Structure 1
Amino acid sequence: MKHLSLSWFSVLETMSSETRSILRDATVGLILWALGSAFILVAGNDGALVFYWSLLAVSGTLLHAFACHTLLPSALGRKHPFWSYLLRMALTLVLTALPVGFLVAVLRGGDAEEAAGYVLFHSAFHVMFTMPLSWFVYQRRTRGQRALEGLKQELGQSNATLDLLRAQINPHFLFNALNTLYGTALQEQGERTAQGIQMLGDMMRFMLHENHQSRILLAREIEYLRNYIELQSLRIATSPNITLETNIEEVPEATWIAPMLLIPFVENAFKHGISLQRRSWIKTTLHYAQGKLYFDVYNSTHPRPEQEPLAESGLGLSNVQQRLALLYPKRHELIIRETSSEFFVHLTLQL
């Protein structure tokens, strides 16, 4: 019995939510039929009442399932959902009236008057009871599903934010250290080193003060992006085989974006697309027009030795894809193409 129960729960877990809803409705209908039949028999009524009750319970269960999973989803998309649902239910009852009447006539000895009377009662019962019950159950179920989806979205956003924070170094204690290093570099006339430290400090200030906000100005995100590219340029300035092409256009001032959406693509390009021994390139393009952001990153890729662990992006492309799905549903297009020697990312974002 224990193994049978475990197998049954395993089967339920593999079912879709719609299939589970239909099975649950059918189970409730079966229980109501059994309870009603038992009550009728205990009360001493004849078999005719059990027959009519059974027919009513079965048809009501089937009609409820059909309403919740076919009639209501299509009706709620209309301009007047209730009247559309009422019309569909009435049409369904009309189409099923003849089969129900024929079934009663055959099983009850061909009494046409009795069959017609039951068809009228059958239709009136479902209009007054099954129809509003299905409406109420479907609306309540839909609200529950929406609330669950909202909780899942909030949980996913929280997890994405947690991953974002875990992936970043803690800037609090490093910020003061950078100020010290910056002063030391100036004293020793290390201009390039001082410049790099200053840009790194600006980036860390961004992470410390603005990265935790839900939205920031697009101009600030671009400034962070430029600082990152400039900082990386200092590292590879003496490598003639590396080419950087950056075309980042100016954007309107009052344009907002979720923080740290663009930098992971460029960070991924520098970590996986740069080789000091082979010809390498990174091309970054940003264009804004009519409320849409167009962002492209195109870079070379190089095979890595098996013994060398694959460096991962600080945020990870999967993390960015998750954040885009949560923050900009149906408002973004992300295209990623990869070959053995090239990697291309195109992001279109409706802001």
Structure 2
Amino acid sequence: MNNSDFKKIEFWVATGLCLLVIFLMVINIDRDTISGNFYSHKIYPFRDSGINFSYLAHYFLPKLFSATSFYLVFLLLNFYLIPALIKQTQSILNTFLFVAVFFLYGLSSSIGYTYSQAYLLVTYNNITEAYFHLFVKGYSNAIYVIVMFSLYVIAKTYAPIVLKHFELKYKNPKIMQECAFAVTIWVFVLFLLGTQASRNYYGIIWGFVVPIGILQYGFSLYQLIPDLKNTNIGFWGYLWRCILLIALIGSFIATIALVILQDTDTWPIIFAFNMGVHCLFTTPFTWLIYNYRLKNKSEIRYLKQELGKSDASLSFLQSQINPHFLFNALNTLYGTALQEKAERTGEGIQKLGDMMRFMLHENVQDKISLTRDVDYLENYIALQKLRTSRSADIVIDTQIDPQLNNLEITPMLLIPFVENAFKHGISLQHPSYIKVTLQTKDKTLYFDVHNSIHIKPDADPEKFKSGIGLQNVKQRLALLYPNSHELIIRESATEFFIHLTIQL
């Protein structure tokens, strides 16, 4: 999972929780409403202080204001301010904004407390002292929230570095990645629920039940189910084992909850909810996930077998390209030696030697440096220029970006297009031109070839041949870069043009 996808998940989880809190306030789902004591725990403090309780002014609007400001502060700190401070981008401005967010959020929390806990105003000696204590409480809450957000963003930022360290030590880094993601979401939501002033079942259930689900999911997916599959034990055998496992762990966790919360009513609720959720949801869900992944692995294994067959075809296609060019290059050098009385033969032979070395050592690799592949391309063009240098009507223009971003490419993908251009675009009797452009941006290669077209005489044996290069390279692109390349070919009466884009 990349950083962009995780940010989307963060945004929608935070947005969903904010909307859920507002929704619950609107429909008034509360522990006291279930037991029939409508607003009792909210009304009594106001009534005892001689203040008329207003659900809108003393509960709904302060809670709505608190939830909204909490949500906005999270978005601002998580997606902009703290990452910018970590990267030291515009440090002075962002530090000022960070402090401003703290003061504004503290102010909003304090204002919310003055309404939601207005009954406290009459418990102090004077109104100034009352406001002072409420504002201290508001800013204390702001410190807690902002510190927790900061720790969360810092942990999220440096977690990939830690995961990479573990990937070097563990055979299955996917376990570490999934566990880290699940624990991050659990801690994040637990923190959101923990900011509520009163203890509620949502926080208790999330805090004690969800970790059991994470443990069961990881243990079942990577240990229990594979072992059962090896012994041909099916779903029902897996289910009974999970029930026993959930009961044991659930009893332990519920006992811890009893000790921490000191509430005898909570123990059976946590245990029953834990058994129901994990037996009815987590257990079958994990079984389905495992079988889905097993099916995908089988499909990948089949595709690898098919790819082995394609490799044989690919090797054959490559073998068609290399001897053809070497034969033409040797003919070119021979003609140049006759014309120039061997003055430039040494240069040509050196370039040919570099190219032969390339084909013997690097052409057999799956991926090579784009720089080396471009060197081969430039040597090829230089040899062709030796052949056409005496003709003033032939223009060969190359614009190749020297900065290739340390990218890698499958060898011999680009040369067929240039071969085709020289084969069909050069005439010693008519004006001709070839223009080759190559550049990269990020991890994308852009390659263009323009060339003139000359009608070949009927006696030319090459007239009705499409050329080895284009058909072969189309097949190679389909095999090696499926869904990550774009090849556009246009042809007019006087010009041939190709545009190739590859995501490297």
State the TM-score, normalized to the length of structure 2: 0.38
Equivalence for 1:283:
435
**Aligned mates of 2:351, 2:377 — CA distance in 1:** 11
Shift of 1:220: 0.5
1:201-235 Cα offsets, whole Å, 9 max, x none, are 11111111110011111110111111000100010
Residue of structure 2 in register with 1:338 after alignment: 491
Q: Which amino acid aligns with 2:322?
A: Q
Q: Name 2:149's counterpart in structure 1.
A: none
* d(CA) in 1 for partners of 2:424, 2:433: 11
Q: In the alignment, which of 416, 438, 445 is matched to residue 264 of structure 1?
A: 416
Is residue 404–residue 439 contact of structure 2 (8 Å, CA) maintained in 1? no
1:255 aligns with 2:395: no
Separation in 2 of the partners of 1:289 and 1:250? 12
Q: Deviations over 1:110-153 (max 9, x none)?
A: xxxxxxxxxxxxxxxxxxxxxxxx99999887665544433223
- C-alpha contact 1:164 1:315 (8 A) present in aligned 2: no
Structure 1 residues 313 and 197, CA gap change in structure 2 (3 angstroms) = farther
RMSD (CA atoms) = 3.7
Task: Specify which of 340, 345, 358 is matched with residue 206 of structure 1.
Answer: 358
Deviation for aligned residue 1:244: 0.8
Q: Which moved more, 1:137-146 or 1:317-326?
A: 137-146
Query: Are residue 169 (structure 1) and residue 323 (structure 2) matched?
Result: yes
Distance 1:297 1:155, change over 3 A: same
In 1, distance between residues paired with 2:421 and 2:453?
8
Question: How big is the shift at 1:167?
Answer: 3.4
* Contact 1:264-1:313 at 8 Å conserved across structures: no
Deviations for 1:147-182, whole angstroms, at most 9, x for unmatched residues? 44332233223202222124322999x9xxx9xx99
The residue aligned with 2:459 is: 307
Residue 327 of structure 1 aligns with which residue?
480
- SS of 2:418's equivalent in the other structure is helix
Q: Secondary structure at the match of 1:309?
A: coil
Q: Give the drift of 1:309.
A: 1.3
Separation of aligned partners in 2, 1:260 and 1:156:
17
What's the secondary structure of 2:323's corresponding residue? coil
Deviations 1:85-117 (A, max 9, x none): xxxxxxxxxxxxxxxxxxxxxxxxxxxxxxxxx
Does the C-alpha gap of structure 1 residues 155 and 251 become closer, same or farther in structure 2, counting only changes over 3 Å?
farther
2:42 corresponds to which residue?
A: none
1:149 to 303, 313, 318: 303
**AA aligned opposite 1:318:** Q
What whole-Å deviation, never above 9, does each CA across 1:305-338 have from its counterpart, x for those lacking one?
2221127687521111111111111111111111
Secondary structure in 2 matching 1:299: strand
- Confirm or deny that 1:347 pairs with 2:500: yes
Contact kept? 2:405, 2:440, Cα under 8 Å: no
One of 230, 238, 245 as aligned partner of 2:390: 238
> What is the TM-score with the length of structure 1 in the denominator?
0.53
Q: Which amino acid in the other structure matches residue 208 of structure 1? A: L
Question: Which amino acid in the other structure matches residue 319 of structure 1?
Answer: N
Q: Taking CA–CA contacts closer than 8 Å with sequence separation of 6 or more, which of the two structures ends up with the larger relative contact order? A: 1
Tell me the amino acid that sits aligned with residue 235 of structure 1.
R
Gaps of 5+ in 1: 1-133
| Percentage of matched positions with identical amino acids | 50
Paired with 2:458 and 2:344, the residues of 1 have a C-alpha distance of 35
Distance (whole Å) between structure 1 residues aligned to residue 292 and residue 451 of structure 2: 51
Describe the shift of the 1:322–1:170 C-alpha distance in structure 2 as closer, same or farther (beyond 3 A): closer
Letter in 1 for 2:447: F
> Which structure is larger by alpha-carbon Rg, 1 or 2?
2
**Aligned mates of 1:347, 1:309 — CA distance in 2:** 29
